[in-house]
Amino acid sequence: MDGLAQDPVMAVAALGLGLVPVLLFLGGLVLLDSYKLVTRRAMLASIGWGAVAAGAAFAAHVALLDRAGVDPALLRRWIAPALEEPLKAAWVLFLVRRGRVGFVVDAALHGFAAGAGFALVENAYYWGALGNFGPALWLVRGLGTAVLHGSTTAIVAIVAKDLSDRRGARLAAAAAPGMLAAFAVHAAFNHVVLHPLLTTALIIVVMPLLLLVAFEHSERATRDWLGAGMDRDLELMELIASGEIRDSRIGHYLESLRDRFSGPVVADMLCLLQIHLELAIRAKGLLIAREAGFNVPVDDSVRANFQEMRYLERSIGPTGLLALKPVFQRSRRDLWQLHVLGGRP
């Protein structure tokens, strides 16, 4: 802490170099999200998880060094990346599993936020321990290490979300390639193969480009899904409203369920389908409004629809909901639609 006592201005500048760049980078990613898929509260939760993960990693490092006698170089080069990357990614993988992310963009935002939270705590610790150790160190830690932590976790999130959507892979299998890539990048950085400033320059050039490509791909996927999904939902709603649903494939299937369920239960199934469609249409409309720059609040009718939907789910029961799966498939994106409106999937 001698550096802090000798020159407090430089010490504060060093802290700024260690903390501000990754926050600016995260802010830039948020601005790129035209659909505003991640709320401020959700972003703070992801940052908070990263901070908790940093504390857990620090405790593990101390135990390995002091109690297990692990060589510091081995810890830095291999063990730290293998330990830290899963800790950071655990939160965003949980969000993917629970249907809290709909596209690659929001997965990447949550991932980078978790990595940023980790980096903020780590750099704050090093600042307290090292103080004003020179601008070069804090340039490397602020622009290199911190952005690296955010980017590697974003990579895990992007790959996991993309593979689980396109190939229907189980989450563990979908996360594995991204986790391996994150470990490889992190370990290569910690090996200090190149000059630290050159490595930092590569990170702040390459990582933003990768994330920009992922964002552009996800924006196109979002627009395609909104267009096709809205058309499909509106068409089905029109069939229900006109009574023509009984002549459709879905109507024939619901009619066949009368052999196993009572008439009132089958009627509840149709009502549940209708309410889910209404909520899905509202969610898509909300996203379209956000892209246009309008913040549309969720009104009481939406909350009433959620209450009625939960009542119908209880009335139909687990067996009835299972029978509805062929016509009422609740994919991760379907669950996410409800989350956009503030409902509990």
Whether residue 62 is found in the same domain as residue 169:
yes
Whether 234 is in a domain gets the answer no
Instruction: List b or e across 252-280, with b for residues whose CB sees 16 or more CB atoms inside 10 angstroms.
Output: eebeebeeebeeebbebbbbbbbbbbbbb
Structural domain for 91, as ranges? 2-221
Whether residue 181 is found in the same domain as residue 265:
no
What pLDDT, on a 0 to 100 scale, did the predictor assign at position 160? 95
pLDDT at 331 over 70: no
The answer to whether the CB of 146 falls within 8 A of the CB of 119 is yes
Q: What is the pLDDT of residues 278-330, one digit of tens each?
A: 888 888 888 888 888 887 777 788 888 888 989 999 999 999 888 888 876 65
How far is Cα 312 from Cα 321, in angstroms, rounded to an integer?
A: 10
**3 state SS for the chain:** CHHHHHCHHHHHHHHHHHHHHHHHHHHHHHHHCCCCCCCHHHHHHHHHHHHHHHHHHHHHHHHHHHHCCCCHHHHHHHHHHHHHHHHHHHHHHHHHHCCCCCCHHHHHHHHHHHHHHHHHHHHHHHHHHHCCCCHHHHHHHHHHHHHHHHHHHHHHHHHHHHHHHHCCCCHHHHHHHHHHHHHHHHHHHHCCCCCHHHHHHHHHHHHHHHHHHHHHHHHHHHHHHHHHHHHHHHHHHHHHHHCHHHHCHHHHHHHHHHHCCCHHHHHHHHHHHHHHHHHHHHHHHHHHHHHCCCCCCCCHHHHHHHHHHHHHHHHHHHHHHHHCCCCCCCCHHHHHHHHHCCCCC
Whether residue 89 is found in the same domain as residue 185:
yes
What pLDDT, on a 0 to 100 scale, did the predictor assign at position 132? 63
Whether 232 is in a domain gets the answer no
For a pLDDT cut of 90, what percent of the chain falls above it? 46
How many separate domains does the chain show? 2
Which pTM does this prediction carry? 0.83
Whether residue 73 is found in the same domain as residue 174:
yes
Whether residue 209 is found in the same domain as residue 260:
no
What pLDDT, on a 0 to 100 scale, did the predictor assign at position 37? 86
What pLDDT, on a 0 to 100 scale, did the predictor assign at position 329? 60
Whether 62 is in a domain gets the answer yes
Whether residue 188 is found in the same domain as residue 54:
yes
State the average pLDDT for the chain.
88
Whether residue 197 is found in the same domain as residue 257:
no
Whether 282 is in a domain gets the answer yes
How far is Cα 46 from Cα 21, in angstroms, rounded to an integer?
A: 18
Whether residue 165 is found in the same domain as residue 88:
yes
Whether residue 210 is found in the same domain as residue 263:
no
Q: What is the pLDDT of residues 156-182, one digit of tens each?
A: 999 999 999 887 778 899 999 999 999
Of the ranges 56-60, 122-126, 301-305, 330-334, the best mean pLDDT one: 56-60
pLDDT at 194 over 90: no
> What average pLDDT score do residues 214-237 get?
84
